[in-house]
């Protein structure tokens, strides 16, 4: 299993950028599909982006497409989320998650990192 630990959250003005990092300890990181989710106050957790084991394939929620970019460095056991053109509605706790395949649920979750976008 992997244990994700997120970092990089903070307060930013609308239109700004942030890069989140997720360092995963444990077994071979490259064996896991990784993803970012987020949860805003009073709302359910929602999918943001996912990346395949080798980093070739990515997928994004429509709400972040063209603004957010997910990437990974398997040598560093780290997945990133570059967030550009941030909007107040991007304010949420962002979570990193991992799963062993496309056919499994996300079983490994980090503790989350707060992102706040001011208008």
**pLDDT tens readout for residues 27-52:** 789 999 999 999 999 999 999 999 99
* DSSP codes of every residue in 31-46: GSEEEEEEE-TTS--E
Instruction: Please enumerate in sequence order all residues whose Cβ is within 8 A of that of 80, keeping only pairs 6 or more positions apart, or say none.
Output: 19, 20, 21, 22, 70, 71, 72, 73
Tens of pLDDT, residues 65-88: 999 999 999 999 999 999 999 999
Phi and psi of 88, rounded to 5°? Answer: -55, -30
Closest to 71 in 3D by CA, of 90, 92, 40, 49: 49
pLDDT of residue 55: 94
Mean pLDDT of the chain: 95
State percent of the chain over pLDDT 90: 92
Q: Measured between alpha carbons, how far is 113 from 119 in angstroms, rounded to an integer?
A: 20
């Amino acid at each position: 299993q992997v244990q994700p630990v997120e970092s990089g959250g903070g307060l930013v003005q609308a239109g700004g950028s942030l890069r989140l990092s997720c360092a995963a300890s444990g077994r071979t990181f490259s064996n896991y599909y990784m993803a970012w989710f987020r949860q805003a106050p009073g709302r359910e957790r929602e999918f943001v982006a996912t990346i395949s084991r080798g980093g070739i394939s990515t997928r994004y929620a429509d709400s972040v497409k063209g603004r957010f970019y997910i990437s990974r460095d398997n040598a560093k056991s780290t997945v990133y989320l570059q967030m550009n053109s941030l909007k107040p509605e991007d304010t949420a706790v962002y979570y990193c998650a991992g799963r062993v395949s496309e056919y499994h649920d996300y079983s490994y979750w980090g503790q989350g990192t707060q992102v706040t976008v001011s208008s």
